[in-house]
């Protein structure tokens, strides 16, 4: 039985429109949510007993679009039901009941902001463009016609070494965005989805087991599809994914299904459908794993 469900958003909960259904909810972005998925997630979510945490690479402006219908008006209501949201790849924790950043997490992140600022300032003279719009803790590098992704990565690594901030910075390649571009996402080393997930689990009173380099969260589920989801998916007892996820995610979750697992602590599930149908199947499984009888 899991007590917290956390999920990535883009291509895990939200997907492109298709012609097979008409219950789309506008997120203000190219990827949309469905009424069927929202109905299931609303039944799962209980702020006290069954928290739902959205953990995404999105920036604050995107969060306002995908999290609420009619954002900023008297008719505002949740679009994707949730209790907490974690933005910027696990670097910005917001409590949805107050809409404010979590003070404890802000204090934790503060000591590495200086290294991020120095790195970002130095890179502005070494790469064509540093995207930090609406980002407080992270930034993005994207290839263009003049600079390949491999060249960007080489310049990033050289700059990190020159500034001697190897222990304070990490980065990863992110799968193609809606425009088809692969990006380099640069984050403080004390951020990331796993660190944020551990923080929220412990804040909610869940056990977290640490053994050498392994972290295990025995009463938490996480649904994801991409590189930046792997760390937390390795740690939770119940990882979920769907067809269309990257191979590394499918292989990880596949190795932890009841049929294939070598460790009884884990119970992974792969929805054998892509897109919106896969999301619905994941949420149905989550409801079962949280003891929720869906209406």
- Residues 181-199 pLDDT 10s: 678 999 999 999 999 999 9
Average pLDDT, the chain: 91
Whether the per-residue pLDDT at 72 is higher than 60: the answer is no
Same CATH topology for 4-101+191-289 and 112-188?
A: no
- Which residue is associated with the tokens 């979590």? 102
CB under 8 Å to 144, separation ≥6 — which residues? 128, 129
What is the spatial distance between Cα 111 and Cα 185, in angstroms, rounded to a whole number? Answer: 19
What is the spatial distance between Cα 220 and Cα 223, in angstroms, rounded to a whole number? Answer: 10
Topology given in CATH for the domain delimited by 4-101+191-289: Rossmann fold (3.40.50)
What is the spatial distance between Cα 222 and Cα 65, in angstroms, rounded to a whole number? Answer: 22
What is the spatial distance between Cα 37 and Cα 294, in angstroms, rounded to a whole number? Answer: 12
Q: In the chain, what are the domain boundaries?
A: 4-101+191-289, 112-188
Average pLDDT over residues 86-103: 88
CB 59 within 8 A of CB 133: yes
What is the spatial distance between Cα 195 and Cα 232, in angstroms, rounded to a whole number? Answer: 8
CA distances 180 to 89, 100, 125, Å, are 19, 33, 26
Average pLDDT over residues 11-29: 88
CA distances 51 to 81, 82, 290, Å, are 10, 7, 11
Per-residue pLDDT band at 115 (split at 50, 70, 90): very high
Residues of the chain with pLDDT > 90: what percent?
76
Give the architecture-level CATH label for domain 112-188: 2-Layer Sandwich (3.30)
Residue (of 89, 63, 34, 46) closest to 281 by Cα position: 34
- Residues 213-257 pLDDT 10s: 899 999 999 999 999 999 999 999 999 999 999 999 999 999 999
Whether the per-residue pLDDT at 75 is higher than 70: the answer is no
pTM of the model as a whole: 0.93
What is the spatial distance between Cα 237 and Cα 257, in angstroms, rounded to a whole number? Answer: 11
């Amino acid at each position: 039985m899991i007590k917290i469900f956390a999920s990535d958003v883009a291509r895990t909960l939200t997907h492109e429109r298709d012609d097979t259904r008409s219950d789309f909810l506008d997120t203000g972005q190219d990827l949309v949510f469905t009424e069927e998925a929202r109905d299931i997630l609303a039944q799962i979510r209980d702020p006290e007993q069954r928290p739902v945490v959205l953990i995404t690479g999105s920036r604050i402006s995107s969060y306002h679009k995908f999290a609420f219908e009619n954002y900023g008006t008297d008719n505002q209501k949740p679009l994707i039901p949730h209790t907490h949201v974690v933005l910027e790849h696990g670097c910005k924790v917001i409590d949805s009941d107050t809409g404010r950043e979590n003070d404890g997490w802000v204090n934790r992140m503060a000591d590495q902001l200086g290294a991020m600022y120095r790195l970002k300032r130095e890179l502005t003279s070494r790469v064509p463009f540093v995207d930090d719009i609406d980002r407080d803790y992270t930034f993005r590098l994207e290839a263009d016609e003049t600079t390949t992704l491999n060249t960007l990565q080489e310049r990033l690594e050289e700059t990190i070494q020159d500034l001697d901030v190897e222990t304070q910075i990490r980065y990863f390649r992110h799968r193609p965005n809606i425009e088809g571009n692969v990006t380099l996402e640069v984050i403080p080393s004390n951020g990331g989805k796993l660190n944020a997930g551990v923080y929220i689990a412990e804040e909610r009173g869940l056990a977290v087991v640490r053994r050498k380099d392994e972290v295990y969260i025995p009463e938490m589920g996480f649904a994801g599809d991409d590189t930046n989801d792997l760390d937390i998916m390795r740690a939770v007892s119940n990882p979920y994914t769907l067809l269309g996820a990257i191979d590394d995610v499918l292989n990880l979750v596949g190795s932890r299904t009841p049929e294939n697992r070598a460790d009884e602590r884990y119970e992974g599930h792969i929805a054998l459908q892509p897109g919106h149908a896969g999301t619905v199947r994941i949420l149905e499984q989550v409801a079962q794993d949280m003891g929720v009888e869906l209406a």
